[in-house]
C-alpha cells in the first residue's frame, strides 16, 4: 500500500476537471447577472413607456427617454430583449426602433434576406420582426417571401408575427399563404384567427376556390364571421361538395351561423356516405338545439361507425330533455348499440331518474312502467345502479323495490359498444 | 493468472468503462446543448396566446391513473383542470386504491355516477363505475379493480375521446402551460411526431405553492430532495434533449407523456407484462415504427411542466430507484434484438448501446470497482493519492455535468433565484460521495431483483405532511 507518488496524468486530470468545474460555475453566475442587467434595462424602458416614471411628461418625451435608455445598453442586450419580448405594443415597438436605428436599415434588410439555416435563421426571424414593427411599409415583400419560405421555422414564426400585426396587408399575406399552401395551413389558420384584421370578404371568395383544401379552410375560418353577407347560401352549397372534409367544415360553420340553411344542411348530412360527416352533422344539430331534430338523429345510434354513434349520443344530450321522447322509441330498437345508446342518453338526461321518482311516488302508470322496464333492460345493471345512486336514500329504497316489481333484473356484465 | 493480474485487468476495465461513459456523456451533452438552443429559440417565436385560443389546436385526453394518492390527488387533478389549453378532457382512473383516494375525488369534484357504454379497445380489469364531475364536466373518473398502472392507463384510454392522449401521474402537480407547450411540437408535424414528453421537477410536497412563475421555484431544505432534483435535471437536460436531437428518445417519462392515440391503438395499449409501462412503451414505439420503416419521432422538451413527489427518505429512494433499474434492465433485455442492429437506425446503433453502457452495465462496474479499488491499493497497483485524486476528478466532472444542466435549464426558465442555483452547483461535486452510493446500492438491488424475476411495483409510501405527521 502506498500514498505517494502519484502519476502526473492524474494531477492533470484533476486540475482540468477543477478548472472546467470553476468555468461552468462562473458561466452560470455570469449568465444570471447579465440577465438581471437586461431585465433592469427592459423594466426601465417599460416604466418610461407606461408612464410609471414621470407620469406628468407627455408621451413623446417618455418615448424618447425609453429609446435613450435602450440606446445606452449594448446592442446585443437589446437584440436579446427583442427576441424575448413577445407580441406587439409600445415596448416591442421601441425595441425594434432602437435596433433599426443602431444597426441601420441595410444591415437588417440583409439579415432578413439571409436564407441560411442553423443559427442564421433565428437572426432572420428577429430581423423580420424588427422591420415589421419599426418600418412596416418596407416589410411587406420580405414577409411575403418569409411566410412561404422553405424553412419551416421561418415560415411558422412569420405566420405568428403576421397574425399579431394590425395591418390589412398582413392578413392578406396570411390568406395568400393559406391559398398557396401546402405547408401547415392549420398554423396559418391559427394566425388568421388571432389577427385583429377582418378578412371575411377575402375568405368568402375562397369558398368557391377550385382546391378542396382551400375551400375547407375558408369554410372553417368563416365561423369567426357568421354575419358575413351571402355566407349561409355559400356554405349550404359546400355542404354538397364532392370533398367530405369540405362538407364537414360547411356543416360545422353553418351550425355557428344558425338558421334554416344550417338545419337543412345538417339534416341532409346525417345520411352522408362518410362517417365523420355524419358525426359532425349530428353534433351540429345538437349545437343548434333543434327541437324537432332528435328523431332524425336517433337512427344514428345504430350507425355502423363508433364515432357516429358517440356523436349521436352527445348531440341528443345537448338537445336536452325535449329529445327524450324521440330517444325512448330507440329502447326497442333491434340493434343493441341503439338500445344501449338510448339508455345512456336517457340516463344522462335524467329521464330514468325522473321516471323512477314519479313512479315510486305517484299512482302506477302503465306507459311509464313500460318505459322504465325497457330502460332498465337496455341500460343494464350499471346504468340502473347509477340512476339509483342519484336518488335520495328514501326514494332509492322505494325505487329499488319498484324495479323488483317490474321484473327488470338486468343482465349485468360490463357494457360494451 | 494470479491475483495481481486479475486486479490489474479489473482496474483497466473499470477505467475503460469510466472513460467510455464520460465520453458518451460529453457527446450527448453537446447534442443536448444544440437541441436546447433550438427548442428555446423555437418557443420564443410561438404565439402562445393565439394557440391557447385556437380551434385548430388538437384536442387531448389527459389520462391520470391513481393508486393510493389521497394526499396529492386533489391538487394534481385541480392543476389538470386549470391547464391553459383550448379543448381537453381529464380521465382519472382510480386503480382500486385502498386509501381514501376515491372519497377525496368524489368530495372535491362533486362526482356523480354517469355510466357510458365504452369501447373495449384495450384490455383492463373490471371497471366498477364511471363518474363525471358536476363541477367541471371535462372530468371523468373511472373506478376500477386494481390491476397496475398499465392496466389503469388502458382503462382510461378506453374512455378517452380525443386523437392525442397525455398520460400523467396523479402525484404530479402541473403548471398551466404544460399541455400547450408540449402540444405545440405535435401540432407542427403530427404525421411524424408520435410522442412528446417534457421535464418535471421534484418536490417533497408538490401540492404546495405556485412555482410556475419565473423565479418562483425554490429548492428544498432537504439535501436528499435537492440531490434528486439535480439527478432529474441531468437526466432531462443533459440526456433526453440529446437523445431527441439524434432521434433515439427512448424514455418518455410516466409523469408526462403525450402519444398519438392511433399509435397506442396500433400497438395494443400499455403492457402489464413489465414493471413500468413508460420506458417499455417508448421502446416498443421505436421498435415498431423503425421495423416497418415508417417516420417516427419522440421528442423531449426542455420546459418544466410540473412538479412530482420525490421520496424523502433513503429507504423510499432505494425502493424507487431499484424499481427503475429493474425496469430499464427488463426493457433493454426484452428489446435486445435492436442492439447494434442497423435496421433500427440511431436507436439500434446508438440508443440501445448507450442504455446498455450507461444504465445496464453501471451496477456491474460499480460493484467491481468497490471490490477492486481497495485491492489495487493493497497490491500497490494504484497509490492512495492517485485514488483520492481520481475520485476528486470524478466528483468535479459530475459537478461540471451538473453545472451545464443547471446553466441550460436556467437559461430557458430563470425559475430559481441565483442563491439557489449556487447552492445546487455546490452540491454537484458532493453528489458522488453523498448521493451516488445510495444509487449504487439501489441499482445493484434492482439488477438482482431483475435476475430474480421480480415484477412488483414497490410504490414508495407518501411523504409525511403536516396533517399526517
Nearest CA-CA distance, residue A77 and chain B, Å: 15
Query: What ipTM was estimated for this complex?
Result: 0.89
CB contact under 8 A, B397 and A156: no
Angle at A231 between CA A226 and CA A233, to 5 degrees: 135
Is residue A210, in this structure, part of any structural domain at all?
yes
Of the two residues A402 and A190, the one the predictor is more confident about is A190
Nearest CA-CA distance, residue B237 and chain A, Å: 15
Average pLDDT, chain A: 89
Give residue for cell 424499481: B323
CB contact under 8 A, B403 and A341: no
Of the two residues A364 and B355, the one the predictor is more confident about is B355
Answer left, alpha or beta for residue A258, where phi above 0 means left and psi between -120 and 50 means alpha. Answer: left
Question: Is B191 part of the contact surface with chain A (CB cutoff 8 Å)?
Answer: no
| pLDDT per residue as tens digits for the range A257-290 | 988 999 999 999 999 999 999 999 999 999 998 7
Q: In this complex, which of A3, A25, A415 lies closest to B383 when CB atoms are compared?
A: A3
Picking from A1, A2, A19, A28 by the largest number of B CB atoms within 10 A of its own CB, the best residue to mutate is A28
Question: Is B208 part of the contact surface with chain A (CB cutoff 8 Å)?
Answer: no
CB contact under 8 A, B54 and A28: no
Q: Answer yes or no: are the C-beta atoms of A354 and A336 closer than 8 Å.
A: no
| pLDDT per residue as tens digits for the range B91-141 | 999 999 999 999 999 999 999 999 899 889 999 999 999 999 999 999 999
List helix spans (H) across B45-81. Answer: 48-53, 73-81
In chain A, the number of structural domains is 1
Nearest CA-CA distance, residue B286 and chain A, Å: 25
CB contact under 8 A, A383 and B378: no
| pLDDT per residue as tens digits for the range A216-226 | 999 999 999 99
The confidence band for A1, taking pLDDT boundaries of 50, 70 and 90, is low
Tell me the chain B residues in contact with residue A385 when contact means C-beta distances shorter than 8 Å.
Answer: 113, 129
Nearest CA-CA distance, residue A210 and chain B, Å: 23
Question: Is B42 part of the contact surface with chain A (CB cutoff 8 Å)?
Answer: yes
CA-CA-CA-CA torsion sign (B253, B255, B261, B267): positive
CB contact under 8 A, B188 and A156: yes
CB contact under 8 A, B49 and A87: yes
State the count of interchain CB pairs (< 8 A) between A and B. Answer: 174
- Check pLDDT > 80 for residue A417: no
Domain B24-351 belongs in CATH node 3.90.550.10: yes
Residue A322: HSE in the Cβ half-sphere, 13 Å Cα cutoff: 7
Picking from A151, A186, A310, A390 by the largest number of B CB atoms within 10 A of its own CB, the best residue to mutate is A186
- Check pLDDT > 60 for residue B468: no
Query: Three-class SS string for chain A?
Result: CCCCCCCHHHHHHHHHHHHHHHHHHHHHHHHHHHHHHHHHHHHHHHHHHHCCCCCCCCHHHHHHHHHHHHHCCCHHHHHHHHHHCCCCCHHHHHHHHHHHHHHCHHHHHHHHCCCCCCHHHHHHHHHHHHHHHHCHHHCHHHHHHHCCCCCHHHHHHHHHHHHHCCCHHHHHHHHHHHHHCCCCHHHHHHHHHHCCCCCHHHHHHHCCCCCHHHHHHHHHHHHHCCCCCCHHHHHHHHCCCCCHHHHHHHHHHHHHHCCHHHHHHHHHHCCCCCHHHHHHHHHHHHHHCCHHHHHHHHHHHHCCCHHHHHHHHHHHHHHCHHHHHHHHHHHHCCCHHHHHHHHHHHHHHCHHHHHHHHHHHCCCCHHHHHHHHHHHHHHHHHHHHHHHHHCCHHHHHHHHHHHHHCCCCCCCCCCCC
Tell me the chain A residues in contact with residue B54 when contact means C-beta distances shorter than 8 Å.
Answer: 189-190, 193-194
Of the two residues B146 and A415, the one the predictor is more confident about is B146
What does the pLDDT read at residue B469?
A: 35
By C-alpha distance, which of B391, B172, B136, B242 is closest to A18?
A: B391
Q: What CATH code is carried by the domain that includes residue A218?
A: 1.25.10
Tell me how far apart the alpha carbons of residues A206 and A212 are, in angstroms, rounded to a whole number. Answer: 10
Least confident segment among A306-310, A331-335, A409-413, B107-111: A409-413
Tell me the chain B residues in contact with residue A341 when contact means C-beta distances shorter than 8 Å.
Answer: 117
CB contact under 8 A, A18 and B396: yes
Is residue A212, in this structure, part of any structural domain at all?
yes
What does the pLDDT read at residue A411?
A: 44
Closest-CA residue of chain A to B144? A414
The confidence band for B467, taking pLDDT boundaries of 50, 70 and 90, is very low
The confidence band for A248, taking pLDDT boundaries of 50, 70 and 90, is very high
CB contact under 8 A, A10 and B393: yes
What does the pLDDT read at residue A197?
A: 94
Is residue A388, in this structure, part of any structural domain at all?
no
CA-CA-CA-CA torsion sign (A204, A209, A215, A221): negative
Is residue A240, in this structure, part of any structural domain at all?
yes
Q: In this complex, which of B37, B48, B380 lies closest to A1 when CB atoms are compared?
A: B380
What does the pLDDT read at residue A363?
A: 82
Tell me how far apart the alpha carbons of residues B318 and B324 are, in angstroms, rounded to a whole number. Answer: 10
| pLDDT per residue as tens digits for the range B49-80 | 888 888 888 999 999 999 999 989 999 999 99
Is residue A382, in this structure, part of any structural domain at all?
no
What does the pLDDT read at residue B209?
A: 63
Provide, rounded to the nearest whole percent, the portion of chain A with pLDDT above 70.
95
Nearest CA-CA distance, residue B195 and chain A, Å: 19
Tell me how far apart the alpha carbons of residues A184 and A53 are, in angstroms, rounded to a whole number. Answer: 44
Is residue A242, in this structure, part of any structural domain at all?
yes
By C-alpha distance, which of B159, B77, B146 is closest to B111?
A: B77
Nearest CA-CA distance, residue B408 and chain A, Å: 9
- Check pLDDT > 90 for residue A53: no
Give the strand pairing for B164-168 and B256-260: antiparallel
CB contact under 8 A, B55 and A193: yes
Residue range of the domain that includes A259: 203-263
CB contact under 8 A, A31 and B389: no
Q: What pTM does this model have?
A: 0.91
Query: Exposed, middle or buried: residue A242 (CB in 10 Å: 0-12, 13-18, 19+)?
Result: exposed
Tell me the chain B residues in contact with residue A222 when contact means C-beta distances shorter than 8 Å.
Answer: none
What does the pLDDT read at residue A122?
A: 94
Most confident region among A58-67, A206-215, B206-215 by mean pLDDT: A206-215
Grid coordinates in use for B363? 451496477
| pLDDT per residue as tens digits for the range A374-383 | 888 888 888 8
Average pLDDT, chain B: 91
Give mean pLDDT, residues B298-314: 92
The confidence band for A5, taking pLDDT boundaries of 50, 70 and 90, is low
What does the pLDDT read at residue B74?
A: 95
Give the SS3 label for residue B416. Answer: coil
CB contact under 8 A, A417 and B117: yes
Is residue A232, in this structure, part of any structural domain at all?
yes
| pLDDT per residue as tens digits for the range A167-205 | 999 999 999 999 987 667 888 999 999 999 999 999 999
The confidence band for A291, taking pLDDT boundaries of 50, 70 and 90, is confident
Amino acid at each position: 500500500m502506498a500514498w505517494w507518488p502519484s502519476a502526473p496524468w492524474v494531477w492533470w486530470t484533476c486540475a482540468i476537471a477543477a478548472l472546467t468545474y470553476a468555468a461552468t460555475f462562473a458561466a452560470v453566475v455570469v449568465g444570471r447577472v447579465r440577465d438581471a442587467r437586461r431585465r433592469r434595462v427592459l423594466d426601465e424602458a417599460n416604466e418610461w413607456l407606461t408612464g410609471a416614471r414621470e407620469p406628468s411628461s407627455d408621451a413623446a418625451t417618455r418615448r424618447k427617454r425609453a429609446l435613450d435608455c435602450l440606446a445606452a445598453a449594448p446592442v446585443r442586450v437589446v437584440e436579446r430583449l427583442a427576441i424575448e419580448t413577445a407580441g406587439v405594443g409600445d415596448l416591442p415597438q421601441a425595441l425594434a426602433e432602437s435596433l433599426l436605428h443602431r444597426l441601420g436599415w441595410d444591415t437588417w434588410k440583409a439579415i432578413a434576406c439571409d436564407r441560411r439555416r442553423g443559427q442564421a435563421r433565428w437572426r432572420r426571424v428577429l430581423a423580420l420582426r424588427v422591420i415589421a414593427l419599426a418600418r412596416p411599409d418596407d416589410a411587406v415583400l420580405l414577409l411575403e417571401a418569409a411566410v412561404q419560405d422553405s424553412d419551416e421555422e421561418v415560415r411558422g414564426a412569420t405566420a405568428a408575427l403576421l397574425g399579431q400585426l394590425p395591418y390589412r396587408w398582413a392578413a392578406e399575406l396570411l390568406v395568400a399563404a393559406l391559398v398557396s399552401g401546402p405547408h401547415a395551413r392549420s398554423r396559418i389558420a391559427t394566425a388568421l384567427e388571432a389577427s385583429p384584421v377582418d378578412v371575411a370578404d377575402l375568405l368568402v371568395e375562397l369558398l368557391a376556390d377550385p382546391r378542396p383544401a382551400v375551400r375547407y379552410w375558408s369554410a372553417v375560418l368563416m365561423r369567426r364571421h357568421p354575419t358575413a353577407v351571402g355566407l349561409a347560401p355559400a356554405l349550404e352549397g359546400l355542404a354538397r361538395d364532392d370533398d367530405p372534409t369540405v362538407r364537414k367544415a360547411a356543416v360545422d360553420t353553418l351550425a355557428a351561423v344558425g338558421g334554416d340553411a344550417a338545419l337543412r344542411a345538417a339534416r341532409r348530412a346525417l345520411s352522408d356516405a362518410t362517417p365523420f360527416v355524419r358525426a359532425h352533422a349530428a353534433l351540429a344539430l345538437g349545437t343548434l338545439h333543434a327541437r324537432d331534430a332528435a328523431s332524425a338523429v336517433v337512427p344514428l345510434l345504430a350507425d355502423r361507425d363508433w364515432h357516429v354513434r358517440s356523436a349521436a349520443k352527445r348531440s341528443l344530450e345537448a338537445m336536452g330533455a325535449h329529445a327524450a321522447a324521440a330517444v325512448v322509441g330507440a329502447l326497442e330498437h333491434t340493434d343493441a348499440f341503439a338500445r344501449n345508446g338510448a339508455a345512456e342518453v336517457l340516463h344522462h338526461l335524467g329521464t330514468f331518474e325522473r321516471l323512477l321518482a314519479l313512479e315510486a311516488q305517484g299512482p302506477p302508470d302503465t306507459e311509464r312502467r313500460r318505459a322504465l322496464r325497457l330502460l332498465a333492460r337496455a341500460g343494464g345493471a350499471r346504468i340502473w345502479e347509477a340512476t339509483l345512486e342519484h336518488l335520495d336514500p328514501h326514494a332509492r329504497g322505494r325505487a329499488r323495490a319498484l324495479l323488483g316489481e317490474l321484473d327488470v333484473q338486468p343482465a349485468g356484465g360490463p357494457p360494451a359498444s | 493468472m494470479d491475483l495481481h493480474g486479475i486486479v490489474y485487468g479489473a482496474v483497466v476495465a473499470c477505467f475503460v468503462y469510466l472513460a467510455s461513459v464520460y465520453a458518451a456523456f460529453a457527446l450527448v451533452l453537446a447534442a443536448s446543448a444544440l437541441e436546447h438552443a433550438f427548442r428555446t429559440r423555437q418557443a420564443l417565436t410561438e404565439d402562445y396566446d393565439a394557440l391557447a385560443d385556437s380551434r385548430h389546436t388538437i384536442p387531448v385526453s389527459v389520462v391520470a391513473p391513481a393508486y393510493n394518492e389521497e394526499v396529492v390527488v386533489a391538487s394534481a387533478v385541480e392543476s389538470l383542470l386549470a391547464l391553459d389549453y383550448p379543448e381537453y378532457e381529464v380521465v382519472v382512473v382510480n386503480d382500486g386504491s385502498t386509501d381514501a383516494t376515491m372519497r377525496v375525488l368524489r368530495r372535491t369534484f362533486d362526482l356523480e355516477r354517469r355510466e357510458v357504454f365504452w369501447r373495449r379497445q384495450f384490455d383492463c380489469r373490471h371497471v366498477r363505475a364511471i363518474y363525471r364531475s358536476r363541477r367541471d364536466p371535462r372530468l371523468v373518473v373511472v373506478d376500477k379493480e386494481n390491476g397496475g398502472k398499465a392496466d389503469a392507463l388502458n382503462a382510461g384510454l378506453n374512455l378517452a375521446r380525443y386523437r392525442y392522449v397525455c398520460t400523467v401521474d396523479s402525484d404530479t402537480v402541473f403548471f398551466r402551460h404544460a399541455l400547450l407547450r408540449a402540444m405545440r411540437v405535435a401540432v407542427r408535424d403530427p404525421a411524424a411526431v408520435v410522442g412528446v414528453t417534457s421535464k418535471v421537477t421534484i418536490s417533497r410536497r408538490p401540492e404546495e405553492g405556485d412555482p410556475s412563475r419565473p423565479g418562483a421555484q425554490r429548492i428544498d431544505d432537504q439535501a436528499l430532495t435537492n440531490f434528486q432534483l439535480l439527478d432529474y435535471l441531468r437526466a432531462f437536460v443533459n440526456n433526453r434533449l440529446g437523445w431527441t436531437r439524434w432521434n433515439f428518445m427512448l424514455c418518455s417519462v410516466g409523469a408526462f407523456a403525450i402519444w398519438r392515440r392511433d399509435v397506442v391503438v396500433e400497438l395494443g395499449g400499455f403492457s402489464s407484462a413489465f414493471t413500468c409501462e413508460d420506458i417499455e412503451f417508448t421502446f416498443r414505439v421505436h421498435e415498431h415504427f423503425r421495423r416497418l420503416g415508417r417516420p417516427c419521432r419522440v421528442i423531449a422538451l426542455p420546459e418544466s411542466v410540473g412538479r412530482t413527489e420525490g421520496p424523502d427518505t433513503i429507504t423510499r429512494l432505494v425502493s424507487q430507484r431499484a424499481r427503475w433499474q429493474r425496469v430499464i434492465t427488463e426493457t433493454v433485455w426484452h428489446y435486445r434484438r435492436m442492439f447494434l442492429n442497423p435496421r433500427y437506425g440511431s436507436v439500434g446503433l446508438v440508443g440501445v448501446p448507450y442504455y446498455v453502457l450507461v444504465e445496464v452495465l453501471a451496477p456491474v462496474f460499480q460493484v467491481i470497482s468497490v471490490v477492486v479499488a481497495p485491492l489495487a491499493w493493497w497490491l500497490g497497483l494504484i497509490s492512495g493519492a492517485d485514488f483520492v485524486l481520481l475520485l476528486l476528478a470524478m466528483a468535479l466532472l459530475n459537478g461540471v455535468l451538473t453545472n451545464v444542466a443547471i446553466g441550460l435549464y436556467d437559461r430557458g426558465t430563470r425559475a430559481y433565484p441565483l442563491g439557489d442555483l449556487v447552492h445546487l452547483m455546490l452540491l454537484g461535486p458532493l453528489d458522488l460521495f453523498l448521493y451516488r452510493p445510495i444509487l449504487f446500492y439501489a441499482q445493484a438491488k434492482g439488477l438482482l431483483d431483475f435476475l430474480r424475476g421480480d415484477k412488483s411495483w414497490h410504490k414508495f409510501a407518501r411523504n409525511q405532511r403536516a396533517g399526517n405527521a
